[in-house]
Amino acid sequence: MQIIPAIDLIEGKCVRLIQGNYAAKIIYNENPLEVAFQFEDVGITRLHLVDLDGAKKGEVVNWKVLELLASKTKLIIDFGGGIKNEKALQVVFNSGAAIATLGSIAVKEPQLFYEWIKKYGSDKLLLGADVKDEKLAISGWIEETTISIMDFLKEALKNNLTQAFCTDISKDGMLQGTSNELYKKIIATFPMLHFIASGGVNSLTNLDELKTIGCKGAIVGKALYENKITLNELKNWIKKN
């Protein structure tokens, strides 16, 4: 299972939100590159970079940070937030992202999302599904929908989706553990999906659980910034796994 640290960006700074609340942000580091170097030093090979300004504004804002991290590190970067059209998608790829994370646009305009999968390849596009009570939430979690995550994944897989992560909003930033039952359900129903867990990771034990249930990756954010999992512990976990 691949460990994928998250760097969430507001005004170019590394921050974390609690349950998507922009008013409850914590700035952890004003230099995202410094954070990326720390991750790279312990054996991390992939980074989940989220443009929270972009998610709120509806257009990519922090592409220069992406460009900096992509040019200065060897990390495979998946980037999301504010990708609402093909021009924005191309900005993200041209700025150095290996993978574009799509959430709101995939839900609001699924046919366009499927066209992009066909055009750019399923390995280049990652579905970022934010859920609350198994229903999708969009626009930086501001807007809830009545669309079931299970139904959406079923349709997306028919249209060549191969990789997705799922964030349970009720868990994100709370350090209360991950939504293992939901993840088990998704993995059992869609075994062909490259599934990544996200939200609520609070310990190495939690990572062991996610690996055991079959997650291919785990996005880890606040647990690292709050030292619930230290970088040294993470380094040792990666070596063992």
Catalytic sites, residue numbers:
8, 130
Closest by CA to 79, choosing from 124, 15, 33, is: 124
